[in-house]
């Protein structure tokens, strides 16, 4: 069960504080609308899922929120600040962190060194190798706290390349948390995981999301149903439905959208 202030309990997005908002957000690629007039409101302190069939626009939307893509039109607001068109570093600095991709880990570098470097970087987006050992040492206690949170204390001295897949994803999460973000974006946190790792990741995301706002994309509806206070369903770049997991899974439009999706887990 999603544990945090649900939109129902707070009277939907109307009366609760909205941390992230998009207004008619649109991204065109050579005339093709990958994201089309999306108006989204993410309530502070909630976990918000973005779902939709393949090609629905979820990744493009994530890239617009983090500044990796510039919208063709529309706005992105963080609190009352318009962050539309800002560079990824600026947006990260304002408190939006996205879980790192595994490709950003250095196989030979230890787990704790990764976290220390993320703590040393003001935005977490760039590692800085010229810092001295003594400078880095000051970050050790916080790095160990973060590793404890994500269950990697025992692997702190291990080379990142030696971690199991689920542990690498947990390390990515620690790197995102190192920024102490207002908004944590998780891009398919359980992709490629077996059942055990999926359940472990659900528990982990619940734990680290306490007191934070989380937006995540995941194809696994068990994950979505377990974590999300609010679910936004995208199709062909547009918002098809929004509500609690129970509401959207019983929405006829959503059922129809997923029916033609071979190999996709149904809502």
Ligand X SMILES: Nc1ncnc2c1ncn2[C@@H]1O[C@H](COP(=O)(O)OP(=O)(O)OP(=O)(O)O)[C@@H](O)[C@H]1O
- Please report, as ranges, the residues that interact with ligand X according to CB under 6 A: 29, 32, 34, 52, 54-60
* Nearest Cα to Cα of residue 128 among 120, 99, 90, 113: 120
Cβ closest to ligand X, residue 38 vs residue 175: 38
d(CA 157, CA 267): 40
Closest contact distance (angstroms) between CB of 73 and ligand X is 16
d(CA 225, CA 26): 28
d(CA 208, CA 83): 25
d(CA 38, CA 70): 14
Cβ closest to ligand X, residue 212 vs residue 219: 219
* Nearest Cα to Cα of residue 40 among 83, 89, 70, 77: 77
Cβ closest to ligand X, residue 48 vs residue 58: 58
And the tokens for 78? 């963080």
Closest contact distance (angstroms) between CB of 142 and ligand X is 33
Closest contact distance (angstroms) between CB of 36 and ligand X is 10
Closest contact distance (angstroms) between CB of 27 and ligand X is 8
Cβ closest to ligand X, residue 113 vs residue 251: 251
d(CA 186, CA 173): 8
Cβ closest to ligand X, residue 59 vs residue 87: 59
Report the Cα 94 to chain-centroid distance in Å. Answer: 15
* Nearest Cα to Cα of residue 151 among 107, 205, 102: 205
Closest contact distance (angstroms) between CB of 54 and ligand X is 4
């Amino acid at each position: 069960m999603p544990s945090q202030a649900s939109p129902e309990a707070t009277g939907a997005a109307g009366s609760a504080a909205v941390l992230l908002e998009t207004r008619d957000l649109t991204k065109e690629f050579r005339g093709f609308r990958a994201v089309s007039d999306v108006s989204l409101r993410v309530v502070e302190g909630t976990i918000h899922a973005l779902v939709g069939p393949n090609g629905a626009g979820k990744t493009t939307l994530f890239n617009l929120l983090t500044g990796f893509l510039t919208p063709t039109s529309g706005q992105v607001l963080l609190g009352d600040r318009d962050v539309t068109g800002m560079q990824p570093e600026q947006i990260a600095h304002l408190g939006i962190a996205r879980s790192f991709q595994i490709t950003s880990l250095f196989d030979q570098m230890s787990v704790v060194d990764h976290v220390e470097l993320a703590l040393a970087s003001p935005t977490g987006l760039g590692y800085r190798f010229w810092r001295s050992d003594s400078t880095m040492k000051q970050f050790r206690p916080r790095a160990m706290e973060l590793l404890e949170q994500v269950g990697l204390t025992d692997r702190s001295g291990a080379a990142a390349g030696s971690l199991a897949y689920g542990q690498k994803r947990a390390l990515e999460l620690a790197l995102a948390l190192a920024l102490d973000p207002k908004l944590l974006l998780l891009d398919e946190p359980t992709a490629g995981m077996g059942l055990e790792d999926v359940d472990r990741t659900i528990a982990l995301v619940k734990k680290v999301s306490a007191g934070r706002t989380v937006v995540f994309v995941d194809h696994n509806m068990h994950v979505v149903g377990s974590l999300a206070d609010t679910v936004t369903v995208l199709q062909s770049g547009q918002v098809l439905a929004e509500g609690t997991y129970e509401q959207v899974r019983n929405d006829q439009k959503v059922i129809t959208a997923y029916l033609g999706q071979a190999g996709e887990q149904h809502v």
